[in-house]
Chains A and B, each alone.
Chain A
Amino acid sequence: MNRVRSARLLRNIASPIAFLVIWQLWGAAQPQRGGYPVPERVLLAAQELIRTGDLPIAFLVSIQRVAAGFLLACLIAVPLGLLMGYFRLVERNLDPLVQTFRSVAPIALVPLAIIWFGTGNISAIFIVAYGAVWPLLINTIHGVKGVDIKLVRAAQTMGLSRGQILRTVILPGALPSMFVGVRLAMGVAWGAIVAAELAVGAKSGSSGGLGQMMFLFYAYSVEMNNIVVCMITVGLVAFVIDRSLRALQALLMPWATR
């Protein structure tokens, strides 16, 4: 049993280890070694950034903005998605707008956000919410439409009203698809915050978040290793969030987990 588990672990971490090795070799082969980040120097930089508290603080600022923007997106997308999925008239009216706006990348909203909300928290949250709202909305609609019509009919023959059916059949029936939306939206939100913070988020007390930190390392101190530390932090956090969401889904929806 234990051997099976360690064999599986080995298989799962083989490609990350191979990546690190190739990266280290590639860096060592470069003529001007200073300009190229390699794993060992990045690790040292990470230690330093954690020791000074810069990285944890920036991380906390960014994740709070993501959480706020994501929550805002949920509050808009879930009710709207339920309505658009359930009532054809609503969907027909709003679908052209949704399809038009969802292709506009969150980063394109940065100039507007700065003009409307300045360069603080609100701008960052706005951009995150804008990015996260579309995958949530589209997957909620998709989920509602995918609910088996027979289940709705079964509830009708039990005498349930439309409102009760929405709550007891449509909502749980759409939940697995909505969760796909949540995972996609989390990815978009986390990507959008870094992009947003490159431009906004400086005026929030001690830190402007991970994106702002990257921008400072780029524009002022030219610390390539520090930038890579930020990149890795973003990636790792996204990975952990996604795995947690998957675990949460297995816990909440045992019927929808194969």
Chain B
Amino acid sequence: MQGAGESPIIRVENVQKIFYVARTRQTVQAVESADLQIYRGEFLSIVGPSGCGKSTLLNMIAGLEQPTAGRITMEGKPVLGPSADRGMCFQEYALFPWKTVWENVAFGLRYGPKGAGCSKQALNDTVRCFIDLVSLTGSESKYPHELSGGMRQRCALARLFAYDPTVLLMDEPLAAVDAQTRIVLQEELLRIWGQEALPANQRKTVVYVTHAIEEAVFLSDRVAIMSSQPAHTREVVVIDLPRPRTAAVRGEPRFRALTDQIWGLIRDEAYRATLR
């Protein structure tokens, strides 16, 4: 979490993104203005109604898209393209269908720069460790199409953690699983992230995009709110619920108060966006 005077690991400064859509020959303003500071070791969620540009913002932080104006820096250096320092977890998992669970988890180490100089033994140990961490032991030789939605998601998480990025970017990673699985995986995510096993300063920085307010409150240290029309970043709400958190935290008055506060901030717009 951010200490007094600590400088952010990622800065998003006055960022704007305009797409040109070839089919309609029109430009679309996906992000009007975004400002955000992300601190080392924190779990930050970005919530907002659909179409507020939160996924586009995440893609720009990843380096997969370039801002039209403004700038994004990581540790003081501008983000010019994708890098293994900023790992990403995708909405539909994006597992390689021709690779088994084991090979998917090993992928970033085997082919990416993070695995350079890594011995075969060390690679195998790392892969085994993360497959074990996400409870996929025994399914190593299965292909993604043989897994359930929840298993695929856990496999994607293991793949992400295995190559050890500094910052983890997650684009609605639980949007495609059913409601019960989602609740279980939220707790799993906190466990894998190290909410219990690691001290706060050793946890990974996470930027988590979701449209689910309760999910954001349950997981995060801070929740950044985005609005659409124009798409821009608004308040950042500090989630002062103590860790480690379990499902029981959802019943606490403070949890309700925080979700109500955030819902109050985006309610008008959510209605407008839905009933337009």
Do A172 and B98 have beta carbons less than 8 Å apart?
yes
Closest CB in chain A relative to B111 CB, distance in Å: 5
Do A159 and B97 have beta carbons less than 8 Å apart?
no
Stretch from A8-16, A146-154, A185-193 forming part of the interface with B: A146-154
**Among B62, B84, B90, B145, contact of A255 (Cβ-Cβ < 8 Å):** B145
Closest CB in chain A relative to B155 CB, distance in Å: 12
Size class of A's contact patch?
A: 20 to 34
Closest CB in chain A relative to B173 CB, distance in Å: 12
B122-157 CB mask vs A (1 if < 8 Å, else 0) is 000000000000000000000111000000000000
Answer whether residue A136 sits at the interface, using C-beta atoms and an 8 A cutoff.
no
Closest CB in chain B relative to A130 CB, distance in Å: 31
A247-258 CB mask vs B (1 if < 8 Å, else 0) is 000000111100
Answer whether residue B49 sits at the interface, using C-beta atoms and an 8 A cutoff.
no
Question: Please, which residues of chain B bring their CB within 8 A of the CB of A158?
Answer: 84, 87, 107-108, 111-112, 114, 163
Closest CB in chain A relative to B47 CB, distance in Å: 22
Closest CB in chain B relative to A93 CB, distance in Å: 19
Question: Please, which residues of chain B bring their CB within 8 A of the CB of A148?
Answer: 94
Do B94 and A159 have beta carbons less than 8 Å apart?
no
Give the docked Cα–Cα distance between A125 and B64 (Å). 46
B51-76 CB mask vs A (1 if < 8 Å, else 0) is 00000000000111000000000000
Answer whether residue A100 sits at the interface, using C-beta atoms and an 8 A cutoff.
no
A163-174 CB mask vs B (1 if < 8 Å, else 0) is 010001100110
Give the docked Cα–Cα distance between A256 and B98 (Å). 8
Answer whether residue A6 sits at the interface, using C-beta atoms and an 8 A cutoff.
no
Do A160 and B111 have beta carbons less than 8 Å apart?
yes
Do B113 and A154 have beta carbons less than 8 Å apart?
no
Closest CB in chain A relative to B10 CB, distance in Å: 15
Do B82 and A172 have beta carbons less than 8 Å apart?
no
Answer whether residue B201 sits at the interface, using C-beta atoms and an 8 A cutoff.
no
Question: Please, which residues of chain A bring their CB within 8 A of the CB of B63?
Answer: 156-157
Answer whether residue B229 sits at the interface, using C-beta atoms and an 8 A cutoff.
no
Question: Please, which residues of chain B bring their CB within 8 A of the CB of A172?
Answer: 96, 98
Question: Please, which residues of chain B bring their CB within 8 A of the CB of A155?
Answer: 107, 111-112
Do A164 and B64 have beta carbons less than 8 Å apart?
no
**Among A150, A160, A175, A255, contact of B92 (Cβ-Cβ < 8 Å):** A150
Which residue of chain A has the shortest Cβ distance to B82 in the bound complex?
A156
Question: Please, which residues of chain A bring their CB within 8 A of the CB of B64?
Answer: 153, 156-157
Give the docked Cα–Cα distance between A255 and B64 (Å). 28
Interface residues of B in 83-104 (CB under 8 A from A): 83-88, 90, 92, 94, 96-98
Do A153 and B90 have beta carbons less than 8 Å apart?
yes
Question: Please, which residues of chain A bring their CB within 8 A of the CB of B169?
Answer: 157
Closest CB in chain B relative to A225 CB, distance in Å: 49
Which residue of chain B has the shortest Cβ distance to A167 in the bound complex?
B111
Which residue of chain B has the shortest Cβ distance to A164 in the bound complex?
B111
Q: A150-B92, A253-B98, A255-B98 are in contact. Are A157 and B62 (CB under 8 A)?
A: yes
Question: Please, which residues of chain A bring their CB within 8 A of the CB of B114?
Answer: 158-159
Which residue of chain B has the shortest Cβ distance to A153 in the bound complex?
B64
Closest CB in chain A relative to B255 CB, distance in Å: 32
Do B97 and A255 have beta carbons less than 8 Å apart?
yes
Do B145 and A157 have beta carbons less than 8 Å apart?
no
Question: Please, which residues of chain A bring their CB within 8 A of the CB of B96?
Answer: 151, 154, 169, 172
Give the docked Cα–Cα distance between A14 and B90 (Å). 50
Question: Please, which residues of chain B bring their CB within 8 A of the CB of A168?
Answer: 107, 111
Give the docked Cα–Cα distance between A255 and B143 (Å). 7
Give the docked Cα–Cα distance between A2 and B99 (Å). 35
**Among B85, B90, B143, contact of A154 (Cβ-Cβ < 8 Å):** B90
Which residue of chain A has the shortest Cβ distance to B104 in the bound complex?
A154
Do A159 and B98 have beta carbons less than 8 Å apart?
no
Question: Please, which residues of chain A bring their CB within 8 A of the CB of B165?
Answer: 157
Give the docked Cα–Cα distance between A66 and B173 (Å). 50
**Among A153, A156, A164, A173, contact of B98 (Cβ-Cβ < 8 Å):** A173
Give the docked Cα–Cα distance between A151 and B64 (Å). 12
Give the docked Cα–Cα distance between A150 and B107 (Å). 15
Do B143 and A157 have beta carbons less than 8 Å apart?
no
Give the docked Cα–Cα distance between A151 and B93 (Å). 9
Closest CB in chain B relative to A117 CB, distance in Å: 40
Do B90 and A159 have beta carbons less than 8 Å apart?
no
Which residue of chain A has the shortest Cβ distance to B145 in the bound complex?
A255
Pairs across A and B, CB under 8 Å, 13 listed: A150-B94, A151-B96, A153-B94, A154-B94, A156-B63, A157-B84, A158-B107, A159-B108, A160-B112, A172-B98, A175-B98, A255-B145, A256-B97
**Pairs of residues from A and B, 9 with the lowest C-beta to C-beta distance, nearest first:** A159-B84, A158-B108, A156-B82, A157-B88, A158-B112, A150-B94, A154-B94, A159-B112, A159-B113
Additional 9 contacts, C-beta under 8 A, given A151-B94, A159-B84: A156-B82, A157-B63, A157-B87, A157-B169, A158-B111, A159-B112, A160-B112, A168-B107, A255-B143
Give chain A's interface residues, CB within 8 Å of chain B. 148, 150-151, 153-160, 164, 168-169, 172-173, 175, 253-256
